[in-house]
Amino acid sequence: MGLYIHIPFCRKACNYCDFHFSTQLLGIDEITDSMKTELKLRFPKIPVEQATHYWGGGTPSVLSHKVMESLAHQALEKAPLKPGGEFTLEVNPDDVTSNSLLNWKSIGVNRLSIGVQSFNDNRLEWMNRSHGSSQASESILRAQDAGFENISIDLIYGIPNSSIAEWQDNLGRALDFGVVHLSTYALTVEEKTKLFYQIKKGESEPPKDERAEEDFRWYRKHLNDLGWDSYEISNSCIPGRRSIHNSTYWSGEEYHGIGPGAHSFDGINTRRWNISNNGKYKRAMDVDSSWYEQEFLKPRDMINEKIMTRIRTKEGLDSKSLGTWDIELEKLWKPHVDANRVFKDEFGTWKLLELGLFWADRIASDGFVPEDQLL
Ligand code: SF4
């Protein structure tokens, strides 16, 4: 079981981002108070122990120590972290100071996920990030000096007009710092983002698949050659340093999401999502009305989720967990099997092959149970 705390605030809006966040930092106190109320409502009786706490967003590191401490106190009281549990905080480089690191340690944070994205100043400016490359480097060094050893950084590849050499430099710098985990994402264009409109108006080139694929293939091979554990399409680590929290999403375990826009899953068939609007979320909390919607997944939905998430992992997709749909999947994926993109191993587990890795989403959707199919 894992607890996810969504902090829906950021200092600046990055041009590619479609997550739920606000740059109106004045609302922080009110929303975090509402989140404390949600914690009380979600865990009304006995505390429910969690294997992980993960604070994401948005940018959790925009919280002052006082606000963070108070919210953490409530979270740890209602959903205590089991001894040795993983407590991850997503931070942006410009918030990483000697003081903030001490504060984060004092509330129990033992893993940092730093939103570096690039070590190139021009790219950071183009993305409208709130930090420069020297802040990115300093944040990692400072965190290590403060005793944080379990550090992940996020990097984005496939940026328009970039080169493989630039990506190699980015990855090389990350490895030189000795970070133990990397989350790497191909730049994608989501509707209604600033990037979407920049491209529409001709102010920016769209990202190209070929560029992203070249970066992707290079870094996967490079990390594998170095003995890294590439345990999910976008996540790699030195052996033993997987993100325990994120692994719960891919293995279909229970997790509780707190805060505007946060999602939860009961580990069986119920998914719920909180209102993705800070004001509406707060008003719902104030009057004790429903602050979330939920759906009961049909067998079809559950199979599709399994296909979508597990095929992206190193462990793969257990065909036995699909019941009779696996017979159909054999037919649907035959073109991908013939093209050496995916295969079923001797234990009946579907796994992506090197050629299929970059096309995981397409392969997954080709295997989905259609809406009119009764299972
Ligand atoms: S800091 Fe993160 S959540 Fe905030 S806008 Fe940028 S990418 Fe999105």
**Residue 257, ligand 1, Cβ within 6 A:** no
Q: Which residues contact 106 (CB under 8 A, 6 or more apart)?
A: 69
CB of 56 closer than 6 A to ligand 1? no
Rounded distance between C-alpha atoms, residue 260 and residue 264, angstroms: 12
Residue 371 pLDDT class (50, 70, 90 cuts): confident
Distance from CA of residue 128 to its chain's centroid? 20
Does the CB atom of residue 57 touch ligand 1 within 6 A?
yes
State pLDDT tens for residues 182-237: 999 999 999 999 999 999 999 999 999 999 999 999 999 999 999 999 999 999 99
Check: CB of residue 228 under 8 Å from CB of residue 184.
no
pLDDT grade for 93, boundaries at 50, 70 and 90: very high
Six-digit token string for 304: 């599709």
56 CA to middle of ligand 1, Å? 10
Residue nearest to atom 8 of ligand 1 (CA): 17
Give nearest CA residue, ligand 1 atom 2: 58
Domain 2-249 CATH (choose: 2.60.40.10, 3.40.630.30, 3.20.20.70, 3.40.430.10) = 3.20.20.70
Summarize pLDDT for 25-63 with one digit per residue, the tens.
999 999 999 999 999 999 998 999 999 999 999 999 999
SS3 assignment, position 255: strand
2-249 and 299-366 in the same fold = no
**299-366 adopts what CATH topology?**
Arc Repressor Mutant, subunit A (1.10.10)
Q: Is the pTM of this model over 0.85?
A: yes
> Which tens digit of pLDDT belongs to each residue from 307-362?
999 999 999 999 999 999 999 999 999 999 999 999 999 999 999 999 999 999 99
pLDDT at residue 374 greater than cutoff 80: no
Nearest residue CA, atom 3 of ligand 1?
58
Work out the burial of residue 292: count CB atoms within 10 Å of its CB; fewer than 13 is exposed, 13-18 middle, 19 or more buried.
middle
> Domain ranges in the chain?
2-249, 299-366
**pLDDT number for residue 375:** 65
Average pLDDT for the chain: 96
**Phi and psi angles of residue 129, each rounded to the nearest 5 degrees, phi first:** -70, 160
Longest dimension (CA), the chain: 58
Q: Using 50, 70 and 90 to split pLDDT, how confident is the model at 137? A: very high
Sign of CA dihedral 350, 340, 249, 272: negative
Mean of pLDDT values over 286-303: 92
